[in-house]
């Protein structure tokens, strides 16, 4: 029996269809993370999404249980209809093909509403009490901490600074940069941890009938809420203006009602955005140059502009700010 036949058989089992119930399977463009996506059709307009994942990427094996948890916690995601961990199949609700990114050219009045609705969902995720999280039942990737932040900044230096920009700071410059970025990680570790999506960008928010749904949440873990905010509001794919990002940040600030003044809140946001954008630029470079997925290289200019913007809003990242200017100059002149 072929893999496609196995998938259709699995769907029939989940929905208790007969063995001869007609279903059609259509491959979809992959979203990465070692997963293949398919749309299963039957009847006039009924369909579901089937995911076939590689269990060697451990976070893929967490998706099903996290999906159940998020649904129970009233975080808007596609429904999980079935999961077969032996065959590595997930059967999900089909909520269409429009994501938040597809609205990037829509009037701000439309985008504002969609982003605000997304932030309400994200706030719901961030607000889940850490002390009652069912860690014995739901497996998560290791939370953000010094090691993960170090990995992200090393990823940025190796794949983006070195391979894209051709920049390798001297020993004294490298020492100063490491001290600056290590201190940034310490400050991020000092924020109150909560559940974070980890990859909260516009292509991971689907829109159906004007309502957002989060997807690709298999990397969910505990970390700083500002990391998620930076992922969404400084997203290189969507490229929100600075004014739009600030307006949405203020909307979230009203939601949280935390004992943190607005100026301090903004500093946390811009610093976390810098951390996230270093990771994103490292990923764009790695996927584009090492994996040969050249389309990712096209997102580097927007990502670099956003990193420069984030670093320019705080006084704590002067070396990173200088590096962004050097890289902008080199990329502009093709060197």
Spatial distance between the Cα atoms of 201 and 101, rounded to a whole number of angstroms: 8
CA distances (Å), origin 132, targets 137, 138, 194, 211 = 12, 12, 12, 28
Q: From 42, 59, 93, give the residue that closes a domain.
A: 93
Residues 57 and 125 in one domain: no
Q: Are residues 173 and 275 in the same domain?
A: yes
Question: Residues of 48-60 as b/e, b for ≥16 C-beta within 10 angstroms?
Answer: bbbbbbeeeeebb
CB atoms within 10 A of CB 292: 8
pLDDT of residue 34: 84
Gap between the Cα atoms of 230 and 88, Å rounded? 32
In this structure, the answer to whether residues 153 and 259 fall within a common structural domain is yes
Task: Give pLDDT, residue 195.
Answer: 98
Starting at the edge strand found earlier in the chain, the sheet holding 24-28 runs 24-28, 35-42, 46-53, 89-93, 80-84
Residues 155 and 231 in one domain: yes
N-to-C CA span, the chain: 52
- 32 Cβ neighbours under 8 A, 6+ residues apart: none
Helix (H) or strand (E) holding 273: helix 262-285
Domain residues for 271?
100-332
The domain boundary, picked from 65, 93, 121, lies at: 93
Q: Is the pTM of this model over 0.85?
A: yes
Q: What is the pLDDT of residue 60?
A: 96
> What CATH number corresponds to the domain at position 19?
3.30.200.20
Q: What are phi and psi of 39, to 5 degrees?
A: -110, 125
Residues 6+ apart with CB under 8 A from 153: 181, 185, 275, 278
Specify the pLDDT at position 209. 96
Instruction: Based on the fold, state whether residues 61 and 135 are members of the same structural domain.
Output: no
Answer with the one of 40, 62, 93 that is the final residue of a domain: 93
* Domain harbouring 152, CATH code: 3.90.1200.10
30 with 108, same domain? Answer: no
Q: Report pLDDT for 31.
A: 62
How many domains does the chain divide into? 2
Beta bridge partners of 36: 52
The predicted structure's pLDDT at residue 257:
74
Residue-level pLDDT at 95 = 95
Q: Are residues 181 and 290 in the same domain?
A: yes
What pLDDT shows up at residue 309?
A: 98
- Residue 88: CA count within 13 A, CB half-sphere: 16
pLDDT mean values, one per 10 residues, the chain (335 residues): 88 93 88 84 89 95 96 95 96 96 97 98 96 93 97 97 92 94 98 96 97 97 98 96 97 88 96 98 96 94 98 98 95 76
Check whether residue 260 and residue 293 sit in a common domain: yes
- Determine what percent of the chain falls in helix, strand and coil, rounding each to the nearest 5: 55, 15, 35
Together in a domain, 84 and 160:
no
Residue-level pLDDT at 280: 97
Residues 75 and 191 occupy one common structural domain: no
Q: What is the pLDDT of residue 30?
A: 63
Task: Say whether both 266 and 171 belong to one domain.
Answer: yes
In this structure, the answer to whether residues 104 and 89 fall within a common structural domain is no
- Would you tell me how many other CB atoms lie within 10 Å of the CB of residue 325? 13
């Amino acid at each position: 029996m072929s893999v496609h036949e196995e998938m259709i058989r699995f769907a029939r089992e989940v929905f208790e269809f007969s063995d001869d119930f007609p279903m059609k399977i259509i491959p979809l463009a992959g979203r990465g993370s070692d997963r293949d996506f398919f749309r299963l059709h039957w009847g006039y307009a009924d369909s579901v999404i089937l995911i076939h994942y590689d269990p060697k990427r451990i976070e893929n094996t967490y998706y099903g249980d996290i999906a159940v948890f998020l649904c129970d916690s009233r975080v808007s995601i596609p429904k999980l209809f079935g999961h077969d961990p032996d065959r590595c199949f997930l059967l999900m609700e089909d909520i269409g093909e429009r994501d938040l990114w597809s609205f990037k050219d829509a009037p701000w009045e439309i985008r504002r509403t969609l982003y605000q609705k997304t932030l309400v969902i994200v706030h719901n995720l961030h607000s889940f009490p850490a002390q009652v999280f069912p860690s014995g039942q739901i497996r998560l990737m290791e939370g953000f901490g010094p090691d993960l932040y170090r990995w992200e900044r090393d990823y940025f230096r190796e794949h983006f600074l070195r391979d894209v920009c051709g920049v390798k700071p001297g020993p004294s410059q490298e020492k100063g940069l490491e001290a600056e970025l290590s201190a940034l990680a310490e400050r991020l570790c000092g924020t109150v941890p909560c559940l974070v999506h980890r990859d909260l960008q516009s292509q991971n928010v689907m829109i159906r009938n004007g309502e957002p749904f989060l997807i690709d949440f298999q990397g969910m873990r505990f970390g700083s809420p500002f990391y998620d905010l930076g992922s969404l509001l400084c997203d290189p794919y969507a490229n929100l203006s600075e004014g739009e990002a600030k307006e949405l940040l203020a909307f979230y600030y009203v939601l949280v009602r935390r004992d943190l003044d607005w100026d301090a809140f903004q500093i946390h946001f811009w610093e976390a955005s810098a951390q996230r954008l270093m990771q994103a630029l490292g990923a764009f470079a790695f996927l584009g140059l090492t994996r040969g997925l050249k389309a990712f290289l096209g997102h580097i200019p927007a990502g670099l502009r956003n990193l420069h913007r984030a670093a320019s809003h705080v006084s704590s990242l002067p070396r990173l700010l200088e590096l962004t200017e050097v890289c902008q100059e080199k990329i502009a002149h093709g060197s």
